[in-house]
Amino acid sequence: MPTTYSNNLRINIIATGEQAGIWGNTTNVNLGTLIEQAITGYVTKTISSGTDYLAVVNGSTAEFRNAAIQLNGTPSTNFTLFLPPYSKVYALFNNTNRVASIRVATSANGTTASQTFTATISGTTMTVSAVGSGVVLSQGLTITGSGVTADTIITGFGTGTGGAGTYTINKSQTILTGVTMTASLIIPSKYAVLVYSDGVNVFAPTNAAPGNFAVANYFSAGGDGAFGGKGSLGIPVGTTGERSGTGIRYNTTLSRYEGYDINASTWSQIGGGATGGGSNQVFYENDQVVTASYTIPAGKNAMSAGAITIENLAAVGGISTATLTIASVSSGALYIGQVITGIGVTAGTTVTAFVSGSGGAGTYTVSPTQSVPGGTAITSNTVLTVDDGARLVIV
């Protein structure tokens, strides 16, 4: 029986009765070299032309099998690197001076890609009428074709979810006659990205390319950072009740951008103060009611347009251990860091977190734990303090 190789890593598969007396050598290469290369291997590859590929060698060391690949060189133009038509994860670092376009070849050691489709474009909507066999379109892929504006990227799904249908792109343009286009993953110079190939298509994590990185739920990174793109940076969007933690967000309840002040333990508006009709930036709007205590610190000036009202909290509720349940609020609002009072309420009781409430009726976490019956009048004085050396001007 002839020698065969595994579908993706191209590892030697010994047939029954083959390699008598020497099978151990093949096994050692498979386990000690090839699989190790696929898990921990690192290789550098020099790019010198407009197209190149990751070399495939069956049953022996090869470029494509390495887990991490650094692309070096100073090619004269942007280039395309072709991955072999096998399922595999790659960590690619483009250390060249040019932009790398990553595509999947139709054959091992080939430079012909399969990731093509036919589409028209109107504005920022791309309508795909047909895709090549096995092709899956995804967010973050850069598209090219006759008449397509440079650096056009798929940024969202419309009716299409990988095949025929509509997609949102980042650059408005018009192509009314269906043309053949290609979809590639772009790696800018000096960028690294984790890439997955299913043997036909290439994807980055969460279907996002460099400059369009996306992470579900929660992401944290230490140290400083920088964004080198020229488009936009998305931030969390949600209602007042969906606030959590600290940071910046867009509040759909209040129609404003807001940030969390860790000193005052409250959310406040940031940016976008001046508004007006059309493109005019004329008016600055401020609230008329102060519902949270605030101190204008020494050395600072503050200004407000028109009269303002200092409104104290007046609510009805009760406390069970660390949970404050507010049935109704007749004036003011609850906020994190607020000290509340009431008959039977322990002195110094502080609101520490929102649960289902976000200023009005709902539940909150308080400290310390205690028991206060429902129906109790819950109050809090709102104080606006102007420190010595500070100035408040109301115009």
Per-residue model confidence as pLDDT tens digits over 12-65: 888 877 888 887 888 888 888 889 889 999 999 999 889 999 999 998 999 999
301 and 277, same domain (yes or no): no
pLDDT of residue 299: 93
CA Rg, the chain, in Å?
30
The domain boundary, picked from 104, 134, 153, lies at: 104
Q: Which percentage of the chain shows pLDDT scores above 90?
A: 42
Q: Are residues 376 and 313 in the same domain?
A: yes
Are 277 and 292 in the same domain? no
Residue 277 has pLDDT above 50, yes or no: yes
pLDDT at 105 over 50: yes
User: Could you tell me the pLDDT band of residue 127, with boundaries at 50, 70 and 90?
Assistant: very high
- Per DSSP, the three-state class of 14 is coil
Residue 106 clears pLDDT 60, i.e. is over it: yes
Domain final residue pick, 42, 75, 104: 104
> Looking at the predicted structure, is the pLDDT value of residue 376 above 90?
yes
Q: How many domains does the chain have?
A: 4
Identify whether residues 57 and 147 lie together within a single domain: no
Given 186, 209, 224, which residue is the final one in a domain? Answer: 186
Residues 353 and 379 in one domain: yes
pLDDT in tens, 288-323: 999 888 889 999 999 999 889 999 999 999 999 999
73: in domain = yes
Residue type (1 letter), 59? G
Q: Which helix (H) or strand (E) holds 27?
A: helix 23-29
Mean confidence (pLDDT) of the chain: 85
Range of the domain at 262: 238-285
pLDDT at 273: 57
Residue 109 lies in a domain: no
**Per-residue pLDDT reduced to its tens digit, 316-358:** 999 999 999 999 999 999 988 899 999 999 999 999 888 888 8
What b/e string do you get for 55-93 counting C-beta neighbours within 10 Å, with b at 16 or more? ebeebeebbbbbbebbbebebeeebbbbbbbbebebebb
Could you tell me if residue 160 is inside a domain? yes
Verify that 255 and 345 share a domain, yes or no: no
pLDDT score for 245: 66
Please say if the pLDDT value at position 142 is more than 90. no
Question: Does 248 fall in a domain?
Answer: yes
Same domain, 394 and 295: yes
